[in-house]
Structure 1
Amino acid sequence: MSLPQRCARQLLREPFQRGSLPIFLAPAFSQPRSQCFSTTSPAQSRVGGAPITIPPEVSFKLVDIPETLTRTRGKDIPKFAAEIKGPRGEMSVNIPSFLTVTRDETGQKATLSVQDTDIPHQRAMWGTIRALIQNNILGVSEGHVCVLSMVGVGYRATVEEKATTVEPTYPGQKFVSLKVGFSHPIELGIPKGVEASTPQPTRILLEGVDKRVVTQFAAEIRDWRRPEPYKGKGIFVNGETIKLKAKKIK
């Protein structure tokens, strides 16, 4: 062990002996304390703790889940679910057992709380379940919308009743036909519960109650022509923008 290391150990073992520490270091060792890097006090989840507004035309109630329908793989088994009904449809969300849903006296707002905010899993699911409930309330009352813009020479889109390359998965299914520079036709089946229309040849409007289904179908359409950064061509979702790059000059 080198001399500086031995001196450092001696200073740590005997910090209060006279003459073992310089005068300017004595206050630091006289009051040892642990201090966090963050100076802010811990706070609850900003998303999970926010109240949920329930419109008058939406019905929100909690129902028990039968034991035969509960999953046993996860850490928590949900015992009740939130049923949300509105003019556009009906949705449900399974509520974990460590979450508590409280409604006010008027019934127009609901808040979520967890048993222990120090557990990371509960804190994470707190905001997730609150966001799912809020999305479902918005879906059954107003609906979710995705607008796809097609930028490129000859890019077109139409909604067809039948398809030649894809078989329908449910009765009455419609298909989105894309012309985005391929020699073969691109036909995508519209998922159940989603309405598609083309107000313009280069615009696709998707509407539905379930936000996850609507955005997933929009992502599948976008994958056929992702926006490229040199000419700015591609399929853009909901006002998506990209930063153009300079052309490579050899």
Structure 2
Amino acid sequence: MSRIGKKPVELPSGVTATISGQTVEVKGPKGTHSFTATDDVTIVQEDNVITVTPRGSSKRARQQWGMSRTMVANMVAGATEGFKKELEIQGVGYRAAVQGSTLKLNLGYSHDVDFDIPAGVTVTTPKPTEIVIEGSDAQLVGQVAANIRDWRRPEPYKGKGIRYKGEFIFRKEGKKK
């Protein structure tokens, strides 16, 4: 039994959901999102509650049960408050700035890195060493944060690079004489 799949998804005030077949569409103040579930699960809406149940006891049906419920819950959360990822930049001379729809990164390369910000995501830099990524789609926000982080991952000796806020980097000791 899926502990996550058993929980119903409650719709807060100001959010509406429509279910047609296997497609769930959620509308809220932050935008509209839709998700098409597989035929292994049944999605039902009663009043302000959406429930997901598996069609059978196969392994795939149980896998899709929890995943489908999480997708619906993420759409509801994105339509109401949205999602946010924060990145920190550590390193001498490493900095970031937003210019229009481009994020300019100085990361110790011989050139500046220009990262085009996709639609549906807002990127701000409150400080030159902080990047805040916000949007209503959880997958898109996480993917943009991962793509930015990939330009200079934190290294284990000095800790230089781009890391998630609060991320612990296991530090290694350098070689000795």
TM-score (norm 1): 0.68
Query: 5+ unaligned residues in a row in structure 1: which ranges?
Result: 1-43, 64-78, 162-173
SS class of match (1:236): strand
Deviations 1:189-248, CA, capped at 9 Å, x for gaps: 001100011111100111111111111111111111101111111111242111111111
Judged with a 3 Å threshold, the aligned counterparts in structure 2 of structure 1 residues 59 and 116 are, in CA distance, closer, same or farther, namely same
**Structure whose alpha-carbon radius of gyration is higher:** 1
Higher share in strand: 2
Judged with a 3 Å threshold, the aligned counterparts in structure 2 of structure 1 residues 59 and 115 are, in CA distance, closer, same or farther, namely same
SS class of match (2:142): helix
The alpha-carbon deviation at position 49 of structure 1 amounts to 1.2
SS class of match (2:53): strand
| Mean Cα deviation higher: 236-245 or 214-223 | 236-245
Q: Does 1:47 align with 2:33?
A: no
TM-score (norm 2): 0.95
Q: Does 1:113 align with 2:75?
A: no
Q: Is the 8 A contact 2:40 2:64 kept in 1?
A: no
The alpha-carbon deviation at position 183 of structure 1 amounts to 1.3
What is the aligned partner in structure 2 of residue 84 from structure 1? 26
Judged with a 3 Å threshold, the aligned counterparts in structure 2 of structure 1 residues 138 and 234 are, in CA distance, closer, same or farther, namely same
Cα distance in 2, alignment partners of residues 133 and 143 from structure 1: 14
Query: 5+ unaligned residues in a row in structure 2: which ranges?
Result: none
Q: Does 1:150 align with 2:150?
A: no
Q: Is the 8 A contact 2:22 2:43 kept in 1?
A: no
The structure whose RCO (Cα within 8 Å, separation 6+) is larger is 2
Please tell me the root mean square deviation across aligned C-alpha atoms, in Å.
Answer: 1.2
**What letter is aligned with 1:53?**
E
State which of 51, 57, 60 in structure 1 corresponds to 2:14.
57
SS class of match (1:127): helix
SS class of match (2:139): helix
Identical-pair percentage: 40
Cα distance in 2, alignment partners of residues 132 and 110 from structure 1: 12
The aligned length equals 177
Cα distance in 1, alignment partners of residues 175 and 15 from structure 2: 55
Cα distance in 2, alignment partners of residues 93 and 84 from structure 1: 9
